[in-house]
Amino acid sequence: MNSFVHKTLVVQLQAGDTDRFSVLAHLSYDSADPFAVTVVFSHDGRVLARWQLDREMLGEALRRPVGVGTCGCVPSRTACGRSLRSGSSLVTARPGGGRHHAVVFAWAPAFAAFLRETHEMVPPGREEVRVDDFLADVIAGG
């Protein structure tokens, strides 16, 4: 059984007061780390940022604003852009951190499809962390 889910989405990035521009968001999920979704943003073959986000938070963000501190996600509606259908939602993630502040706009149906695939692999509430295996690795390594 495959323990990974990967999907690449085209998202809009807005950093500071700049206009939005398209970047690739490479989403990945590994059942060995069942609570996390990793997103790597790239443009023209260059990695711009790597975020590790809570899977449950991302699922909730499709329905309501979530997050505290330097990262939050807010569902919103838009009628702009031919890649979006009328009535579709957007997920907006805002990591803080001074000069590295950015807003990412992702098409919610595509993001929801990715999350559904992760839920098929590891259903919500069935996540497990193998603490004993982790500690054995740490002890063996040092």
For residue range 74-105, what is the model confidence (pLDDT) as tens digits? 777 665 432 222 222 334 455 554 445 678 88
The secondary structure element, H or E, covering residue 134 is helix 131-141
The CATH number of domain 4-141 is 2.30.31.20: yes
Residue 70, pLDDT score: 66
Domain boundaries, the chain: 4-141
Which range is most confident: 34-48, 89-103, 114-128?
Answer: 34-48
What secondary structure does DSSP assign to 21-67, as a single string?
Answer: EEEEEEEEEETTSTTEEEEEEEETTEEEEEEEEEHHHHHHHTTS-EE
